[in-house]
Structure 1
Amino acid sequence: MADRKAVLVVDDDPGTLKGVKRLLREHGYDSVLFSSAEAFRNHDDFEHALCIVLDINLDHESGIEVRHRLKAAGISLPVIYITANDNHAVRMAAMESGCIAYLIKPFSATSLIEPIRKVAAGLA
């Protein structure tokens, strides 16, 4: 990973991973991509991470569960949730788990980049 801080992206949809990577690159951010919660579980370099973009509906696990596991391990990076299956219960669980943004697919570039800019500026 480069010296500048990267955005960790966890989503089981290859198209979303590719699109988010391209968007982050266009705005000057590096990214590290994970296609599953399992692949992300093996990651241990959080020191160089700016934040996590985390899909709620992963193949075998909820992104919210992943967030709880990170917190339990003492990893408190800001989280931006993304989901294609919005409902009130999921939204409330996401907010309660602690996130800086909750985005519904398809989301605008600005809705993803703005919270990342705030984290990078130390405002989130």
Structure 2
Amino acid sequence: MSHHPLVSIVDDDESARRAMANLARSLGWRVQVFDSAEALLLSGAFDDVQCVISDVQMPGMTGVDMQDRLIERGVKLPIIFVSAFATDTLRQRAYANGALCFLTKPVDGAVVARLLDSIGHAA
């Protein structure tokens, strides 16, 4: 395993996915990207992952539903959710399931940097 932490980024919006990946790489993280929650779940690539950054509202499965599926599989990872249209119900559900943070789009890169830094030092 590399000494650089690994983050999985899940977002159906290619430009948002690319921007978040570039930010994480600039902070020294290895990155794997997925264009849907289903793609992440199908990958089964969770062993080295220290964090997931996921959009909430995506076609098909939502990010919060993905979190439920991960928990059902016994995969407990810190998840940073990002959303432009988050409801209080979704926020409460995500936090009840252990979400690390729930950010509103557009995301402040400095906030993401602080969160990833805290996770990376704990890994």
Q: Which amino acid aligns with 1:15?
A: S
Match of 2:40 in 1: 40
Match of 1:88 in 2: 88
Match of 1:27 in 2: 27
Match of 2:56 in 1: 56
User: 1:8-62, CA deviations, whole angstroms, 9 ceiling, x for partnerless residues?
Assistant: 0011000110100111111111110000122112112212111000111111111
Contact 2:56/2:86 (CA < 8 Å) preserved in 1? no
CA RMSD of aligned residues (A): 1.5
TM-score with structure 2 length normalisation? 0.91
CA distance in 2, matches of 1:87, 1:18: 25
Aligned length: 122
CA distance in 2, matches of 1:73, 1:81: 19
Give unpaired runs (5+ residues) of structure 1: none
Give unpaired runs (5+ residues) of structure 2: none
CA distance in 2, matches of 1:55, 1:92: 16
CA distance in 1, matches of 2:74, 2:95: 19
Match of 1:111 in 2: 111
CA distance in 2, matches of 1:65, 1:74: 14
Question: Cα distance, 1:64 vs. partner?
Answer: 0.7
**Within 5 A, what are the aligned runs for 1:70-81?**
70-81=70-81
Instruction: Name the % identity.
Output: 25
Contact 2:10/2:33 (CA < 8 Å) preserved in 1? yes
Question: Cα distance, 1:87 vs. partner?
Answer: 2.5
